[in-house]
Chain A
Amino acid sequence: MRRHGLLGTALLLGLTALAGCSGGGSEAEGQSSDGTDPISIWASLNTNVSITLKSMNEITAIQEWEKATGIQTEFQHPAVGAENEQFNVMLASSELPDVMFVYGDYAKLYNDGSIIRLNELIDEHAPNLKKILDENPEVAKQLKADNGDIYAIPHLRLGEYKTFGGTFIRQDWLDELGLEKPETLDEWETVLKAFKESKGVSAPLLYGAPPKMTTMGPAAANFLEAYGVTNTVFLKDGKVVYGPIEPEYKQFLDMFHRWYDEGLIDPDFATNDQKTYDAKILDSQAGAFFTYIGGGIGRYLPALQETDPDADLTPVQFPVRNKGEEPMFTGRSWEWSGAGATITKSNKQPEETVKALDYFFGEEGHMLKNFGVEGETYTMVDGYPTYTAEILENPDGLSVVQAMAKHFIANYPFVGEDDDRYNEQYYQLQQQKDAVELFSKYSENTLEVSIPPISLTTEESNEYSKIMNDITTYRDEMFIKFVVGAEPIENFDKFVEQIKKFNVDRAVEIQQDAVDRYNAR
């Protein structure tokens, strides 16, 4: 009886509490002043925004945007880390918002009927965007599908700065040893040897940064790329090839294996996770390593200088084989970041929506997106938009990023064009400013070797990923074995043979077809 009573009470209490707890989720259905429904926009809520605001609707720039264009918006944000699941489930239930920020397979969404084609709408209602596309045919190519359709209002990066990460080196050690920043692979070998012998560190060259799925973390790729090839498909003289079976790959393995034997490379490279990676950097065991300009250096340098005030990390240019050569691979991103706003089939006001989104491509909208409100968040100093104290030394104690996120949208993808002048001011440390310039110096070269943003059909995609999953698994395993010496480099031919057995030629063919289609756009 007591059992029953307990259960019964719990039930009763719970049910009453529940009665008051039904979701009032979409209560924010306001009506705008002129009687039209607000436009619902589905987008990820960026971390820095969520610190101060509950929704993007509260961002200063968004509010100004609504005033300027006369539309009303209502942002819907998925739970952080659950964007994919909620996105898929939203599509499955056909309860679509008016606008969806998507990153990925637009063609699929269009073929499913979830989003609409935008070419005509852009021609008629988005003069600013249309102008940019007309003046930059390469950009238009990236944005269009193989058949010429445009499915999204894009996020563009047309400035100089398109590279976000690269190799950094302990400048203080270089100074101490009287060495210059290395440029060629031979110079790198000298520097790393010096680090090892004079400083006695365990990881003169640190790498193995996550994600661990492929051990060819960016740093290793940097050194491989000095040979002119990379560890996946790329363009060689305009044709698609697979890097690991090229002869240059063997030369790289030779060198890297030698470096490993001589202790110039972190011996734990295969097992590093983020934590051990960080620990080695902050423990001054690492002489050079790859990281990102913003989140990487911004994190490491201050922490490092707490324990060692003389420590200095400076950016190094991507390495080359011989003096005078230019790096080809710079990790540069395309003008179209891949992110954009799509108009769904549920949208009853597509013209107004496109028109409003186009605002960001005009002069006013551009400044609003990247700098905020003149007088409040920036002032023009000799024609250069300079952030005010509200941003750089926020009175409420917000960090620069957080203050920026509260007022405008410059450091995560959104409709419109990014602006270099934001980058220049956002990166507070001199090392970061240097890095941005340095890493972007040769970014034009990457256009010759990178595979452009192609589209694969579903069948192609299935086939490609099936072939490549086997190949990538094999490649990664063998890479480690070659470098540590478990597999002699003489067996490289067998390695190539095996990859061919996996049907790599078909995979390359698929990519080549897609590239051809892209060029014909």
Chain B
Amino acid sequence: MQIKRTFGERLFDSFNALVMALLIIVTLYPLWHVLSASLSDSGKLMAHSGLLLWPDGFNLESYKLVLSNPSILSGYRNTIIIVVLGTAMNLIFTIVGAYTLSRKNFMLRNPIMLAIVFTMFFNGGIIPAYLLINNTLHMGNNLMALIVPGLISSYNLIIMRTAFQEISESLLESARIDGAGEIRILCRIVVPLSMPVIAVMILFYGVAHWNSWFNAILYIRDRNLYPLQLVLREILIQNSTDSMTTGAAMGDREAIGESVKYATVMVATLPILFIYPFLQKYFVKGVMIGAIKE
């Protein structure tokens, strides 16, 4: 349908485009800064202040240092396993949970929701969790310890439930009348209709797994099982100029690579940045078309 835009609309569109362009510049800068810094000479970097638009003393030293760390490869491997396996499990449980809790004919849905929200505020802290996972369930030193405790994120569950609630009940009702069971309805109707939200969940859970390192500190002893972020964190701290992270001057340290900090960020971040473009295709309008019979 070709309806002509009004002058006001055209003005708005230009203004919008301008604002967006500005936004791109402003939000791109941090990454650009990090990239330039990672390729800069550490000494020059320490002396530099202000905007960093080009590498100052181009060199690849920092990358060499980070990527030659013996644990980097195993770090990547472990993290990829955790991301893939973890996200898959997260999705299954969260989708099932969100679906059941979105059904208005489920009498217990509000009490259960309240109970779940309660856990977002009150928890027992590190020690009981550790005792449970390590001593009781014997998941210590196993990658499962990094997946199972975080199996369902209450926040994500709530978001997905909100999305599922929007699905027209009549649609599901007619499926039930046709004899479909709940699981079928979930898989054949609800999930396909909710691809945007599910895509977001993949992003949220995937990123969370990718970035996580704290649980590994608690549960993993074997260096070969360290996820990527933990390895990078070690490299970072070992090369840090921040006395906040290095603590007292106990043990002198070698000339520090300031640009290592930035190389670490690049190595840690770049892969995950590429996920979003793939998920963007799910954010297509009109996903509901064709499913609604009225």
Contact = CB atoms under 8 A, between A and B. Distances in A.
B contacts with A: majority SS? helix
A278 B256 CA distance: 12
B66 interface: no
Contact of A80 (B140, B141, B238): B238
Interface string B247-261: 001111111101000
Interface of B: 43, 46-49, 70, 78, 81, 84-85, 87-89, 91-92, 126-127, 130-131, 134-135, 140-144, 187, 191-192, 214, 216-218, 220-226, 230, 233-234, 237-239, 241-245, 249-256, 258
Contacts of A274: 241-243
A358 B261 CA distance: 40
B76 to A, nearest CB: 13
A261 to B, nearest CB: 25
Contact of A25 (B130, B221, B245): B221
Interface in A355-410: 399, 401-402
4 residue pairs, one from A and one from B, having the closest CB atoms: A14-B85, A294-B252, A23-B141, A412-B251
A279 B46 contact: yes
Contact of A292 (B84, B131, B249): B249
Interface string A1-17: 10110010011011101
A54 B43 contact: no
B253 A295 contact: yes
Give the bracket for the number of chain A residues in contact with chain B.
Answer: 35 or more
Contact of A411 (B70, B87, B88, B252): B252
B192 A3 contact: yes
B148 to A, nearest CB: 11
A23 B85 contact: no
A25 B233 contact: no
Interface string A62-85: 000000000000001001111001
Contacts of B126: 85, 88-89
A421 to B, nearest CB: 16
Contacts of A210: 242-244
Interface string A464-494: 0000000000000000000000000000000
A18 B88 CA distance: 14
Contacts of A314: none
A309 to B, nearest CB: 14
Contacts of A47: 238-239, 251, 253-254
Contacts of A275: 46, 49, 241
Given A18-B144, A81-B233, A86-B217, A401 B46 contact: no
Given A92-B130, A211-B244, 5 more contacts: A13-B85, A25-B220, A93-B130, A294-B252, A295-B252
Contact of B81 (A17, A299, A339): A17
A401 B254 contact: yes
A455 to B, nearest CB: 19
Contacts of B214: 85
Indicate the member of A24, A25, A165 with the most B CB atoms within 10 Å.
Answer: A25
Contacts of A93: 130-131, 134-135
A339 B92 CA distance: 49
Contacts of B135: 93
Contact of A15 (B78, B85, B251): B85
Contacts of B225: 21, 23, 25
A426 B187 contact: no
Indicate the member of A23, A293, A302 with the most B CB atoms within 10 Å.
Answer: A23
Contacts of A23: 140-142, 220-222, 224-225
A299 B255 CA distance: 5
Given A18-B85, A76-B221, A93-B134, A81 B253 contact: no
Contact of A209 (B81, B223, B224, B243): B243
A160 to B, nearest CB: 17
A339 B251 CA distance: 12
Contacts of A18: 81, 85, 143-144
A468 B85 CA distance: 49
B43 A401 contact: no
Contacts of A292: 249, 252
Given A7-B88, A10-B84, A413-B251, A22 B241 contact: no
B241 A278 contact: yes
A282 B234 CA distance: 27
A474 B133 CA distance: 43
24 contacts: A3-B191, A14-B88, A15-B85, A18-B81, A18-B143, A24-B224, A25-B220, A54-B70, A79-B226, A79-B230, A79-B233, A81-B245, A85-B214, A89-B127, A92-B131, A93-B130, A273-B242, A278-B47, A282-B43, A283-B49, A298-B255, A302-B255, A413-B250, A413-B251
Nearest to A283: B47
Contact of B187 (A4, A24, A86, A298): A4
A92 B132 CA distance: 12
Contacts of B78: 21
A95 to B, nearest CB: 8
Given A411-B251, A413-B251, A50 B238 contact: yes
A306 B41 CA distance: 12
A26 interface: yes
Given A14-B81, A81-B245, A211-B243, A278 B217 contact: no
Contacts of B46: 275, 278-279, 282, 303
Nearest to A306: B43
Nearest to A76: B221
A274 B250 CA distance: 18
A92 B129 CA distance: 11
A401 B127 contact: no
A390 B191 CA distance: 65
Contact of A81 (B91, B134, B144, B237): B237
